[in-house]
Structure 1
Amino acid sequence: MSLLIWSVYRGWPVLLAAPLMALLAAALAADPLLATLTQRFMPATGGFVVAFFPLFLLGAVFGKLMEASGAAMALARAIVGHLGARHALPAVVLSCAALTYGGVSLFVVAFAIYPLAIALFRAAGLPLRLIPAAIALGAFTFTMSALPGSPSIQNAIPMPYFGTTVFAAPGLGLISGAIMAVGGLIYLSHAAASNTATNGLETATETQANSNELPSVWLALAPIVTVFGSNFVLAELALPNLDLVYLSEPAWGGVTPSQVIGVWALIGALTTAIILLFALTWRRLESVKETLTDGAEAALVPLFNTAVLVGFGAVVAALPAFSAVSALVEDIPGGALTGLAASASLLAGITGSASGGMSIALDAMGAHYLELALSEGQDPAALQRIVTLATGGLDALPHNGAVVTLLGIAGLSHREAYGPIFIVAVVIPVGSLLAALFLASWLGGF
């Protein structure tokens, strides 16, 4: 595991590092290498692709359409223009949050917001090296793991395991999200006041788009509102009222409706938003075919990077050492919620991926913790929210792919800019998880 972290941190591609490190782990445990590759690594990798390919694909296409049509930039500029340079920090954070909560890929958000952030920070005399942390706070934290209704993949993965939807445990999510957002803004404001105004990024390239070329903010908002509205209608009203008895047949997987409704609703919501966005902005697209192609291709790298980490985790989960670690985790006092939070958080930190660590934890221990939670009288919705929060903390350690990409966009090294990211994307989210665990132990999945 340490070698995987080191290799990714040093810039080796995850697609190569994960299977190689899985085979190395198997060799050290004296397991057969070819059987490990074909019977453990590949089924787990393929299973993740089969389960979540539509969500990665639709999310990437939606994000690309928002970017290419100018809708993402229009919404960001409207928020920035309303708050002004005096409130540069909350303007950047809120712009990122609005876009990611609306379903736009965090990578698209980072590229779209970065030029605006440079201009705002310079106008306000803020330390430019804090821009990556401000973007991380808005894009990597509360909108990804805490806020109910978020279409993020992290919020979608637990649904088949617990029979929940993306709106699970809204009370826990809102409180945790508020802790992350407010805590992160307070920290960044203090850090900005304690530093000189122009640390780093002086060579950054600014790109400005003509405001007259952008769509209206209402047009930019319409697809985002559509994601939430249609998701809620499908998940809570339409799909539960359909006759889905046939799903129990072996030909359809032998599943219960609750195991698929959440995923179906999100697929339907993203599809509806894409159709609406395409109808509203197709004249603004230089090439529809090229935009859709770029969006589809953009889904592949994050999908397969996450999938091979799940495959790596499946190999590790079968090792004797993992069984010993699992036994230690299960002995942690606090019941199902605490045990699931600890195991998922640990795996997210090891893999540097919230979705990868979550999938590994749920594949290995999801059924156990669901059974334990039900025996304790816990709402499965609390399990969903807790596991999502748990993987949204240690995942942002230095080897996280999104962190590496964000620093690359800013042209900064880990030494120059990772410290503030660590506070807003690791320390404060872990604190919000602890608060959520405390509340859930008393109030359940409210």
Structure 2
Amino acid sequence: MAPIAALLAVVLTEPTKVLPVYTNLFMVRMAFFVQNYFPIFMLGALFGKMMEISGFAKSIASAVVRVVGEKFTIMAIVLVGAILTYGGVSMFVAVFAVYPFAAEMFKESDIPKRLIPATIGLGVFAFTMDALPGTPQIQNIIPTTFFGTTAFSAPILGIFGSLFVFVVGMLYLEWRRRTAKAAGEGYGSGHLNEPVIATTTDKLVHPLIAALPLVLVWVANLVFTKTLPSLFPDVVEFQNTSVPAKNADPESLITSVTISGAVATWALIIGLVLGIVTIFIIGRKQVTASFIPSSKDAIAGSLLANLNTASEFGFAGVIASLPGFKVAADALLSIPNPLLSEAVTVNVLAGVTGSASGGLSMALGAMGDHFIDMANDSGIPLDVMHRIASMAAGGMDTLPHNGAIITVLAVTGLTHRQSYKDIFAITLLKCLTAFVTIGFYYLTGLV
């Protein structure tokens, strides 16, 4: 739908340019996104699937549930989702890994099942997706390409925003639990997709060992983010004659790579590869038994996610080239404060696309240079711009048409009517967090 919608807009403005715009603008922008982020999508999906089939994710989830206990059921599920996603497991994979434990614990604690999607959302789609420094989720990686920053940008602001979301989100969910209990509402009956907790004779690996790949991804990401710039010059150049042009100037065949814009992606690629190798070594028996079909599913899913977001990025490029977009862009950029302008723009576009990564890509792809100029004029570090953009992306993206929301509801067997009210409350909290964090930055100056 993205190219169709984009080209219909071109038809209404400059119909003679439909084909040139499609081949030389839409497809070029789409290819740019795939070029920059394909390895992250693919390796992230493969890493998450291997955490699942090795039993490592189940071991970690079981350990957290035991430690936190039934008394703090909601907190336990939030922490399980947060640990998995912050360690590099795909958010979609984490939903499948967390749900069986959530259903079992909610049933034992007699908490309404309709609260499970919001609980999983707080742990999986909230602070570990875009706020915590170093998170390997794509929403934290996209800004690095535009701002020349790293995944660990603005750590104090990221930690502050994460704590705000976690604390307020937990207070809300616990209030909803107590309200339901006072009204005599329990887990309920007749639910769809009730998980069957399978019993297995295979002993799960110790949770500390299971957590090793997650820790390794995070540590490697941090270490290589710091060390890679010292191993390369600021700009790397090499001959690129793969597509030679007729009578081309030799200098036009030189490809240059600016290291500051590539370090974040390179560091995460290395971290995910090391994590995958570690799972292979430790859980070789479990992994090899179903690696081929599982890896096919994981990589197919990553291709779909990558091309969906890339298509939205191409859509953004076409729309940004139209005369009407300048009116909307000028209105958003007329907000004098660069952080507020950026937060509002990213939130609006994430809501329109129903995708955090799609809205973030659209906003930065169309107006990234303007945000940089505004930040430089105001003396705001680009690390701060990175963190606010990333956090804003995870706000209004979770409208009813969001793919992650539809996935959570499908997996849990619930409907929008049953559960979306509480999901939307977490969405509003996420929107508020970006602006609260902006206020914290101006009050303290901490980055």
Alpha-carbon distance between aligned partners in 2 of 1:327 and 1:189, rounded to the nearest angstrom: 42
Alpha-carbon distance between aligned partners in 1 of 2:78 and 2:2, rounded to the nearest angstrom: 33
More deviation in 433-442 or 413-422? Answer: 433-442
More deviation in 368-377 or 70-79? Answer: 368-377
Whose radius of gyration is greater, 1 or 2? 2
Deviation at 1:220, TM superposition (A): 1.0
- Aligned twin of 1:203: 192
Quick check: 2:235–2:259 contact (8 Å CA) kept in 1?
no
After TM superposition, the structure 1 = structure 2 runs for residues 47-196 of structure 1, keeping only pairs within 5 Å, are 47-195=32-180, 196=185
More deviation in 132-141 or 246-255? Answer: 246-255
Alpha-carbon distance between aligned partners in 1 of 2:405 and 2:377, rounded to the nearest angstrom: 39
Q: Secondary structure at the match of 1:407?
A: helix
Quick check: 2:234–2:260 contact (8 Å CA) kept in 1?
no
Alpha-carbon distance between aligned partners in 1 of 2:258 and 2:440, rounded to the nearest angstrom: 30
Q: Does 1:219 align with 2:209?
A: yes
> Structure 1's 102 and 116: CA in aligned 2 closer, same or farther, altered over 3 A?
same
> Structure 1's 381 and 124: CA in aligned 2 closer, same or farther, altered over 3 A?
same
Quick check: 1:282–1:288 contact (8 Å CA) kept in 2?
no
Alpha-carbon distance between aligned partners in 1 of 2:220 and 2:353, rounded to the nearest angstrom: 33
- Aligned twin of 1:411: 413
Q: Which amino acid aligns with 2:6?
A: A
Deviation at 1:443, TM superposition (A): 4.3
Q: Does 1:363 align with 2:365?
A: yes
- Aligned twin of 1:6: none
- Aligned twin of 1:38: 23
Q: Which amino acid aligns with 1:241?
A: S
Quick check: 2:10–2:18 contact (8 Å CA) kept in 1?
yes
Q: Does 1:239 align with 2:224?
A: no
Alpha-carbon distance between aligned partners in 2 of 1:406 and 1:201, rounded to the nearest angstrom: 18
What's the TM-score once normalised by structure 1's chain length?
A: 0.92
Measured against aligned partners, the alpha-carbon deviations of 1:21-45 in whole angstroms (never above 9, x if no partner) come to 2222223334433233222221111
Quick check: 2:153–2:386 contact (8 Å CA) kept in 1?
yes
Q: Does 1:20 align with 2:21?
A: no
More deviation in 211-220 or 257-266? Answer: 211-220
Alpha-carbon distance between aligned partners in 2 of 1:252 and 1:270, rounded to the nearest angstrom: 30
Q: Which amino acid aligns with 1:309?
A: E
> Structure 1's 281 and 36: CA in aligned 2 closer, same or farther, altered over 3 A?
same
Deviation at 1:444, TM superposition (A): 4.6
More deviation in 381-390 or 76-85? Answer: 76-85
Quick check: 1:381–1:445 contact (8 Å CA) kept in 2?
no
Alpha-carbon distance between aligned partners in 2 of 1:104 and 1:252, rounded to the nearest angstrom: 37
Q: Which amino acid aligns with 2:348?
A: L
Measured against aligned partners, the alpha-carbon deviations of 1:375-420 in whole angstroms (never above 9, x if no partner) come to 2211110011010011110111111100111111112221111110
Measured against aligned partners, the alpha-carbon deviations of 1:62-86 in whole angstroms (never above 9, x if no partner) come to 0010011011111011101111221
Measured against aligned partners, the alpha-carbon deviations of 1:156-201 in whole angstroms (never above 9, x if no partner) come to 0111211111110011001111111111111111111222113576
Quick check: 1:70–1:215 contact (8 Å CA) kept in 2?
yes
Alpha-carbon distance between aligned partners in 1 of 2:127 and 2:265, rounded to the nearest angstrom: 21
Quick check: 1:129–1:200 contact (8 Å CA) kept in 2?
no
Alpha-carbon distance between aligned partners in 1 of 2:27 and 2:172, rounded to the nearest angstrom: 43
Q: Does 1:281 align with 2:283?
A: yes
Structure 1 stretches lacking a partner, 5+ long: 1-16
Equivalent of 1:29, from 2, 9, 13? 13
Q: Does 1:387 align with 2:372?
A: no
- Aligned twin of 2:439: 438
Q: Which amino acid aligns with 1:312?
A: F
Alpha-carbon distance between aligned partners in 1 of 2:29 and 2:84, rounded to the nearest angstrom: 31
Q: Does 1:309 align with 2:309?
A: no
Measured against aligned partners, the alpha-carbon deviations of 1:260-317 in whole angstroms (never above 9, x if no partner) come to 1111111111111111111111111213333333322221111111111112222222
Q: Secondary structure at the match of 1:37?
A: helix
Alpha-carbon distance between aligned partners in 2 of 1:123 and 1:246, rounded to the nearest angstrom: 58
Equivalent of 2:323, from 307, 320, 334? 320
Alpha-carbon distance between aligned partners in 1 of 2:74 and 2:253, rounded to the nearest angstrom: 53
> Structure 1's 41 and 88: CA in aligned 2 closer, same or farther, altered over 3 A?
same
Aligned residues between the structures: 427
